[in-house]
Structure 1
C-alpha cells in the first residue's frame, strides 16, 4: 500500500501538484470526481498542431504535462491524475492494459489503455482519467492487465519503442499460455 503513496519519477509530487491537489476538497470519492474534472478541464487533447505525438510519447512527467497543458493520450491523463491523488494521500496504482483484440491482430499496432486504481474505503476502485470515469470495480473486461506499478517508467515503458517491445513480448507469452491451457 505504501508503494502507491510514493511518487515515481514520472509522478513526482511537485509544489505545483501539491497546490492543485490541496485546492480540491475533500479526500474521498468526491476528490476523485473533482480531480477527474480538473484534469479533463486543464489538460487538452489532442496535442496541439505541430506536436509530434511519438516524439514525446511517455517521455514527460506529470508536472511537465501540467505545464504543457496537453496530453498525447491516456498515459498523460493518468499520470497527472495519479500524482494529484497521491499528493492528497490516496494510494493510487498506475494500470497498463492491453486490448484483448491486440493479441489476434498486428502486434506492431499498439492498442492499450491506462487506468488508475485508488484505494478508498478499504477497496480498490478503477478510474479512467482520460474519459473521466470512476469504475465501480477494478475490472477491465475488454483488456488484459499488462502490469500495475507506480508509473509508466516504473514498468520500463519510456517511449513508443519500449512499449512496442514490451507489448510484443507480453503477447507472445500470453498467446503461449493460452495455447497451453487449451491442450
Structure 2
C-alpha cells in the first residue's frame, strides 16, 4: 500500500502536479471524481494530427503530458490521474490489462487498456481515467491483468516495441498455462 503512494519514474510529483492536486477540492471519492473531470477537461484526445502517436507512445512522463496538453491513449490519461491522486496522498496503482481477444488473435496487434486503482477507506476502487469512470470493483471481465505497478516504465514498457514484446511473451505463457 505504501508503495503506491510514492512516485514512479513516469509519475514524479512535480511542482506543477502538486499545484494541480492542491487546486482540486475534496478528499477520497470526491477528489477522485473531480480529478477525473480535471484530467478529461485538460488533456485532449486524440493527439494533434502532426504528432505520430507511435513516436511518443509510453515515452512521456505525467508532467510532460500535462505540459503538452494531449494524450496518445489510455496510458497518458492514467499517468496524469495517478500522479495527481498520489500528490493528494491517495495510494494509486497503475493497472495494465490485455484484452481477452488478444490471446486468440494476431499477437502483433496490441489490444489492452490501462486502469488505475485507488485506495479509499481501506478498499481498492477501480478507475478508468481515459473514459472518466469510477468502478465499484477491481474486476476486469474482458481483460487479463498483465501487471500492477507505479507506472508503465515500472512494468518495463517503454514504447511500442517493448509493449509488443512483453505482451507477446505474456500471451505465450498465458496460453500455455490455459492448455495444461
TM range (shorter): over 0.9
Q: Distance in 2 between matches of 1:65 and 1:122?
A: 30
Runs of 4+ in 1 over 2 A off after TM superposition: none
Shift of 1:117: 0.2
TM-score by length of 1: 0.98
Shift of 1:26: 1.2
Q: Distance in 2 between matches of 1:174 and 1:91?
A: 29
SS at match of 2:86: helix
Deviations 1:127-182 (A, max 9, x none): 000000000001100000000000000000000000000000000000000000xx
Q: Distance in 2 between matches of 1:25 and 1:150?
A: 24
Number of aligned residues: 180
Deviations 1:12-39 (A, max 9, x none): 0000000000111112101010000000
Q: Distance in 2 between matches of 1:145 and 1:38?
A: 27
Provide structure 2 residue ranges, at least 5 long, that are not aligned to the other structure: none
Q: Distance in 1 between matches of 2:157 and 2:120?
A: 27
1:145 aligns to 2:137 (yes or no): no
- The Cα RMSD (Å) is 0.3
TM-score by length of 2: 1.00
1:166 aligns to 2:159 (yes or no): no
